[in-house]
């Protein structure tokens, strides 16, 4: 990601131009644990419904707590991602909406969804009444979450979250809506499934062209498939999954399986907690097969141009065919989804002396093939102290290298156990609710409140990780606890990087098995090593820059040129409402969308992005 | 399948040597619908438990209805598939068991499983109390179903069904037992997932060698994987799924998706009701990937020999490698699972004059590539009137051929709608319980009772299909209603064929668009057609024999030779207890097992087969 304003210290620095949002404030906890949660929920929602039927927006706003209340709305009332705070702003938001909210109901379909007195901060410090809602607007249907807080014996809405899930008349073909798969009876014009599928794969002139077939591309392609929008992914790699396959040898996902499910085809029950990269790559290939997604691999983009009047792109791509020939194809998509990774192009600094390096290898982490086996006595330096940097340093150690990791600023370090057992507990774990329910709960918390909640989580995690943290400090490794002490997740959301989920390298640092060079910029690369600003020189046979990836907007500039990129807004990090900027929503340039994030973000936001495209294509938006 | 005794008319004729089992008798329906089902269930099961703790087998037997009561046991008490009838036989069965049943409990985990007053015949004609049970033996755990019937105000066990599901200490690595996927911490000996997986795929010397990678091979391989038994499938085809891919062009499964789920990786929610063959083939490939099954394609068996003293096979296989070379490998499995299809080798009759045929094609249905497009005026004859015969005839019609279907005996015809909407209703449909629950319910009914129940189902289906049946008869097509009027399913179970699930060809026959030649054997093949026993001659440019497949034992003789095949018992069809013969259980030859059946049978019996192998390998059996 972009470096941001380096005058701000690393822990607080957000993505360039974005907001280091304030900490939200939870109301006081209710002690009225004998309350009839169902009854209160019914009353509040029925008051909501009454006001809706009269289109009395003031009355609806009055149901909210006070100025410290939130309505987070993902596409239900407008085509923007919004978090609106306080009665007045909520009324104004309702007034401005062109979509009519027609119905809202308490969801009692499962115990998890039904009203209960309990945590309204996920964590359990603040008690109130929590439940899911279902709603219907003039154009669609969705679900959401309502949290009620008590004030002087009165129950008010503290947070409401609404997520549009389907457009009326364009529901996904699931369950009762699945296709029949065959037309019974004699049909002289019959085409078999294979004939249709083969034709679709080769002859498609897609409405949506998706650049990249990683988790971002795959999930949005899957969502579009379910909405009946012809879409095609193109990817420079030879096989789907190569974006993971080609990464460093021993990479295993740092998030657990329960957090990582993709839409429609969940990981089966035997799937390991942490997915090795090559296994994930194979899953991706199976995902394409099972969902009949269209992808051209070994394909690169040759040119793009946007026709403002036709609202259409002209795109030329070159496909290397299995027989070695090349095929140039011109497509006319109405939308391009850039899914080249929210971390797109590698961030590979230009440093004086690089060209003089005489060692075995100097490369970016994305090109690192893995440490060579049996390399006792060889020297390696890894620049960068986030996940990749640590994993690669650990790989070097395991192969017998003398290994130094270069840390220029600070790193937010949380152990994998603390993430799995504390951070994801109850939401994304073996006994957690269905992942779609967990997502609704997770995204129901406005980012300000999430940040506050994460400061508490971060403290509990830090207690758990105290020995590691103390050891790291003693070893000269600098750690931080994220922006305003809100930890790893918010650092990821606000900045896109700057953390390490510890899967073992921290102990190697503590034990001196991985040495640390801290706080110094690199002055120059020497033929046999690195010289730092403080004059110290470290020898190296191999140097790996685990310095992350560039902003998607930088990537867009390379792909589409200045004319397009100049119209695009800044990408990633929060706006002042705590909503992500530009990703998964109108980008500033018509027909251009940004898709990306880890598997969980891709799962959630892929639908949001696909619904917007569907709405445009159906003339609803 | 084998032809059986042709002196028995087609509808009643079972697989050679098997039993056309009698119709079971349900008790009278209880009218005590105000009964407290939970209480009664608890009482009966607690009486059962008391007797168990005293090892009082007489007392247990006395809990059963009378001589007309059943205990169907799939591996819980013995390593045989058994249905024991009547108090005396049940006592004897308990006495003979070397495995101690330690615990049996009412399963109240879901509404579907919990005790309720209602149908004990699935259909709803006979009311009693139905519920699931869980049980534990000295070596394993399982689930089952109990049906109670009322007699003079007393509730007795009418049927008990027990299915062994896991061996203690060898539970499947699912959910909480899933693997971690990574070893955190510095590990100089680390092998990545890919390194281990690649080695496994190539270097495996399997405990179990599975011949064939269709649904039979895949499901048993999946079960063995979960039990930690190294297994390898070999298949002559180039790709997994080719057993379906290579079948006739327009083949679509005749059973609906809800009936067809494979273990561990269910079809996703968007999957079509009826799966086209090539789509199923792609699913099979994904299945191999997702479950990490080992399969060598393009591989044929060169030789086998059994070492009786070592209880081990020596098997030589030849693998055609992607680079065109061949590799000969010698393996030493302790078990061979023949999963070449319960319909194995094609059944291709030798008929006088075949070699003189001058038309475009004369082949078995398994080799039929599909009718040629735009063939108006060409003449085709299909011999055989089961699913394949009808589908292929329909294909010829759709391409403009003048087409005749040759029916020598009678066919059991049920429309696809009648199967889906009547036969599978409530058990395998969109709103049905989880497929494992449905399977428990389905297999809980002893075959005699299933047969009785199916006579009722068949009647309802026949009412639904009356117009088609009348039309077919009028068109000279002969239909039957299965053995003792028990319909299609029992005909499949007892004989392995002889039916058509109508997906449109029947109407074409009724309309004269597919002509019928009925009741005559073929006298000879002419250079330009067929001459029948009655002297009639039909011209043909193409002749397809949709005459089915041979018995697996015939196939075993070809593969393993007489010495092995002579020790093997007859395959398929029922024994006198109504249990399938020889399939999925001890075959008569140690270390040789038969696996096969449609997707639903493969799903259910694959675990039964895998558990037996696991028990042998662990020294439990």
CB contact under 8 A, A192 and B226: no
Q: What pLDDT was estimated at residue B5?
A: 62
Question: Which residue in A552, A557, A558 sits closest to A570, CA to CA?
Answer: A552
Q: What pLDDT was estimated at residue A5?
A: 62
Phi, psi angles (nearest 5°) of residue A506: -60, -40
Q: What pLDDT was estimated at residue A152?
A: 86
Query: CA A314, CA A302: separation in Å to the nearest integer?
Result: 11
**Which residue has 């002859």 as its token pair?**
A203
Q: For residue B318, give how far its alpha carbon lies from the nearest alpha carbon of chain A (Å).
A: 27
Query: CA A426, CA A445: separation in Å to the nearest integer?
Result: 15
Q: Chain A neighbours among B 281-320 (CB < 8 Å)?
A: 282-283, 285-286, 289-291
DSSP run (H or E) holding A90: helix A87-96
How many other C-beta atoms are found inside a 10 Å radius of the C-beta of residue B431? 9
Q: What pLDDT was estimated at residue A344?
A: 60
Q: For residue B4, give how far its alpha carbon lies from the nearest alpha carbon of chain A (Å).
A: 33
Please indicate if any CB of chain B lies within 8 Å of the CB of A472. no
Q: Which residue has the higher pLDDT, A187 or A482?
A: A482
Candidate from B178, B291, B397 with C-beta closest to A273: B178
Q: What pLDDT was estimated at residue B392?
A: 94
pLDDT per residue over B51-89, tens digit each? 999 999 999 999 999 899 999 999 999 999 999 999 999
Please indicate if any CB of chain B lies within 8 Å of the CB of A99. no
Q: CA torsion sign, B4 to B5 to B9 to B12?
A: negative
Query: CA B282, CA A68: separation in Å to the nearest integer?
Result: 53
Q: For residue B322, give how far its alpha carbon lies from the nearest alpha carbon of chain A (Å).
A: 15
Torsion of CA A418, A420, A425, A428, to 10 degrees: 150
Band the pLDDT of A2: cuts 50, 70, 90: very low
Q: Which residues of chain B does A252 touch, with a Cβ-Cβ cutoff of 8 Å?
A: 181-182, 193
8 Å CB contact between B166 and B142: yes
pLDDT per residue over A138-169, tens digit each? 999 999 999 999 988 899 999 999 999 999 99
8 Å CB contact between A439 and A149: no
Does residue A465 have a pLDDT over 90?
A: yes
Question: Which residue in A572, A595, A615, A621 sits closest to A220, CA to CA?
Answer: A595
Helix, strand and coil percent figures for chain B, each rounded to 5:
30, 25, 45
Chains A, B: CB contacts within 8 A come to: 167
Question: Which residue in A98, A64, A44, A28 sits closest to A615, CA to CA?
Answer: A98
**Sheet harboring B499-502: ordered strands across?**
B479-480, B411-415, B499-502
Please indicate if any CB of chain A lies within 8 Å of the CB of B171. no
Q: Which residues of chain B does A270 touch, with a Cβ-Cβ cutoff of 8 Å?
A: 172-174, 178-179, 226, 264, 291
Does residue B122 have a pLDDT over 80?
A: no
Nearest chain A residue to B225 by CA distance is A270
For B330, the token pair is 């010698």
Candidate from A179, A187, A275 with C-beta closest to B272: A179
Query: CA B593, CA B79: separation in Å to the nearest integer?
Result: 14
Q: For residue B269, give how far its alpha carbon lies from the nearest alpha carbon of chain A (Å).
A: 5
Q: Which residues of chain B does A400 touch, with a Cβ-Cβ cutoff of 8 Å?
A: 188
Alpha helices per DSSP H over B186-276: 193-203, 215-226, 242-245, 257-260
DSSP per residue, A138-186: SSEEEEEEEEEEEETTEEEEEEEEEEEEEETT-----GGG---SS--S-
In sequence order, the 6+-apart residues with CB closer than 8 A to the CB of A601 are: A342
Q: For residue A291, give how far its alpha carbon lies from the nearest alpha carbon of chain B (Å).
A: 8
Question: Which residue in A56, A98, A102, A104 sits closest to A77, CA to CA?
Answer: A98
Does residue B3 have a pLDDT over 60?
A: no
Please indicate if any CB of chain B lies within 8 Å of the CB of A226. yes
Query: CA B232, CA B213: separation in Å to the nearest integer?
Result: 10
Band the pLDDT of A190: cuts 50, 70, 90: confident
Rg from Cα positions in chain A: 26
CB contact under 8 A, B193 and A285: no
Question: Which residue in B105, B106, B123 sits closest to B115, CA to CA?
Answer: B106
CB contact under 8 A, A278 and B173: no
Q: Which residues of chain A does B276 touch, with a Cβ-Cβ cutoff of 8 Å?
A: 181-182, 192-194
**What is this structure's pTM?**
0.95
Query: CA B433, CA B618: separation in Å to the nearest integer?
Result: 34
Q: Chain A neighbours among B 17-56 (CB < 8 Å)?
A: none
For B505, the token pair is 């060809």
Q: For residue A426, give how far its alpha carbon lies from the nearest alpha carbon of chain B (Å).
A: 14
CB contact under 8 A, A269 and B271: no
Instruction: Enter the ipTM.
Output: 0.93
Query: CA A8, CA B259: separation in Å to the nearest integer?
Result: 61
CB contact under 8 A, A250 and B190: yes
Q: Which residues of chain A does B187 touch, with a Cβ-Cβ cutoff of 8 Å?
A: 398
Instruction: Provide the phi-psi class of B292: left if phi over 0, else alpha when psi is between -120 and 50, else beta.
Output: left
Min mean pLDDT across B122-126, B333-337, B399-403, B545-549 is at: B122-126
Does residue A423 have a pLDDT over 90?
A: no
8 Å CB contact between B216 and B287: no
- The angle subtended at Cα B83 by Cα B80 and Cα B87, nearest 5°, is 120
Phi, psi angles (nearest 5°) of residue A226: -70, -20
pLDDT per residue over A38-79, tens digit each? 999 999 999 999 999 999 999 999 999 989 999 999 999 999
CB contact under 8 A, A398 and B179: no
Paired with A475 in beta bridges are: none
In sequence order, the 6+-apart residues with CB closer than 8 A to the CB of B158 are: B26, B27, B64, B65, B68, B69, B70, B120, B128, B147, B148, B149
Q: Which residues of chain B does A188 touch, with a Cβ-Cβ cutoff of 8 Å?
A: 397-400
Candidate from B174, B273, B507 with C-beta closest to A180: B273
Query: CA A295, CA A289: separation in Å to the nearest integer?
Result: 10
CB contact under 8 A, B270 and A257: no
Please indicate if any CB of chain A lies within 8 Å of the CB of B181. yes
Query: CA B554, CA A186: separation in Å to the nearest integer?
Result: 36
What is the percent of chain B with per-residue pLDDT over 90, rounded to a whole number? 85
Q: What pLDDT was estimated at residue B139?
A: 97
Please indicate if any CB of chain B lies within 8 Å of the CB of A186. yes
Q: Which residue has the higher pLDDT, A5 or B481?
A: B481
CB contact under 8 A, B282 and A291: no
For B462, the token pair is 């026949």
8 Å CB contact between B354 and B383: no
Question: Which residue in B445, B487, B431 sits closest to B579, CA to CA?
Answer: B445
Mutate to test the interface with B, among A111, A178, A405, A414 (most CBs of B within 10 A): A178
Q: What pLDDT was estimated at residue A551?
A: 81
CB contact under 8 A, B273 and A178: yes
What value does the mean pLDDT of chain A take? 94
In sequence order, the 6+-apart residues with CB closer than 8 A to the CB of A470 are: none
Does residue A484 have a pLDDT over 70?
A: yes
User: Mean of the pLDDT values across residues B11-21?
Assistant: 89
Does residue B2 have a pLDDT over 50?
A: no
**Sheet harboring A312-320: ordered strands across?**
A299-307, A312-320, A326-331
Q: For residue B218, give how far its alpha carbon lies from the nearest alpha carbon of chain A (Å).
A: 16
pLDDT per residue over A515-533, tens digit each? 999 999 999 999 999 999 9
Q: Which residue has the higher pLDDT, A122 or B116?
A: B116
Candidate from B264, B398, B508 with C-beta closest to A269: B264
CB contact under 8 A, A185 and B252: no
Chain center to CA of B204? 29
Nearest chain B residue to A286 by CA distance is B286
CB contact under 8 A, B187 and A398: yes
What is the percent of chain B with per-residue pLDDT over 70, rounded to a whole number? 99
CB contact under 8 A, B252 and A176: no
Please indicate if any CB of chain A lies within 8 Å of the CB of B175. yes
Please indicate if any CB of chain A lies within 8 Å of the CB of B503. yes
Q: For residue A226, give how far its alpha carbon lies from the nearest alpha carbon of chain B (Å).
A: 8
Candidate from B172, B192, B279 with C-beta closest to A276: B192
Please indicate if any CB of chain A lies within 8 Å of the CB of B558. no
Q: For residue B78, give how far its alpha carbon lies from the nearest alpha carbon of chain A (Å).
A: 29
Nearest chain A residue to B190 by CA distance is A398
């Amino acid at each position: 990601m972009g470096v941001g304003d380096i005058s701000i210290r690393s822990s607080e620095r957000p993505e360039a131009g974005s907001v280091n949002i304030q900490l939200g404030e939870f109301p006081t906890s209710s002690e009225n644990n004998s309350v009839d949660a169902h009854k209160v929920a019914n009353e509040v929602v029925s008051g909501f419904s009454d006001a809706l039927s009269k289109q009395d927006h003031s009355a609806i706003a009055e149901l909210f707590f006070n100025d410290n209340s939130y309505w987070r709305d993902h596409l239900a009332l407008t085509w923007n991602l919004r978090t609106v705070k306080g009665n007045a702003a909520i009324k104004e938001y309702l007034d401005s909406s062109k979509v009519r909210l027609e119905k809202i109901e308490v969801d009692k379909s499962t115990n998890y969804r039904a009203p209960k007195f309990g945590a309204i901060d996920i964590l359990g410090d603040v008690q109130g009444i929590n439940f899911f809602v279902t709603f219907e607007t003039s154009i669609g249907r969705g679900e959401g979450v309502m949290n009620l807080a008590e004030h002087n014996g009165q129950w008010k809405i503290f947070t409401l979250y609404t997520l549009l899930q389907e457009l009326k008349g364009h529901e996904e073909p699931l369950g009762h809506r699945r296709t029949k798969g065959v037309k019974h009876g004699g049909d002289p014009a019959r085409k078999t499934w294979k004939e249709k599928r083969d034709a679709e794969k080769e002859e498609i002139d897609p409405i949506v062209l998706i650049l990249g077939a990683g988790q971002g591309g795959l999930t949005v392609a899957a969502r579009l498939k379910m909405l009946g929008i012809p879409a095609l992914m193109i990817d420079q790699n030879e096989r789907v999954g190569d974006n993971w396959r080609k990464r460093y040898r021993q990479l295993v996902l740092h998030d657990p399986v329960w957090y990582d499910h993709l839409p429609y085809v969940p990981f089966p029950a035997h799937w390991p907690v942490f997915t090795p990269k090559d296994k994930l790559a194979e899953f991706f290939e199976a995902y394409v097969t099972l969902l009949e997604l269209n992808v051209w691999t070994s394909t690169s983009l040759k040119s793009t141009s946007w026709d403002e009047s036709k609202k259409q792109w002209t795109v030329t791509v070159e496909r290397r065919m299995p027989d070695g020939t090349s095929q140039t194809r011109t497509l006319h998509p109405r939308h391009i989804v850039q899914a080249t990774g929210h971390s797109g192009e590698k961030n590979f600094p230009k440093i004086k002396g690089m060209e003089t390096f005489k060692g075995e290898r100097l490369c970016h982490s994305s090109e690192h093939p893995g440490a060579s086996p049996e390399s006792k006595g060889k020297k390696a330096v890894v620049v960068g102290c986030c996940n990749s940097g640590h994993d690669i340093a650990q790989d070097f150690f395991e192969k017998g290298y003398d290994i130094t990791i270069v840390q220029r600023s600070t790193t937010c370090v949380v152990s994998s156990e603390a993430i799995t057992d504390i951070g994801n507990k109850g939401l994304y774990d073996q006994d957690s609710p269905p992942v779609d329910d967990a997502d609704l709960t997770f995204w129901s918390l406005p980012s300000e409140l999430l940040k506050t909640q994460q400061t508490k989580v971060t403290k509990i995690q830090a207690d758990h990780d105290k020995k590691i943290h103390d050891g790291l400090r003693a070893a000269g490794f600098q750690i931080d606890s994220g922006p305003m002490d809100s930890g790893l997740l918010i650092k990821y959301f606000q900045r896109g990087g700057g953390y390490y989920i510890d899967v073992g390298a921290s102990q190697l640092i503590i034990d001196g098995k991985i040495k640390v060079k801290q706080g110094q910029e690199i002055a120059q690369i020497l033929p046999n090593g690195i010289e730092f600003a403080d004059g110290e020189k470290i020898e190296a046979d191999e140097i790996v820059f685990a310095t992350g990836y560039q902003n998607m907007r930088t990537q867009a500039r390379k792909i589409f040129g200045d004319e397009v990129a100049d119209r695009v807004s800044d990408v990633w990090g929060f706006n002042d409402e705590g909503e992500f900027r530009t990703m998964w929503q109108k980008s500033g340039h018509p027909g251009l969308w940004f898709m990306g994030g880890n598997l969980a973000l891709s799962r959630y936001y892929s639908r949001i992005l696909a619904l917007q495209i569907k709405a445009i294509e159906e003339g609803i938006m």
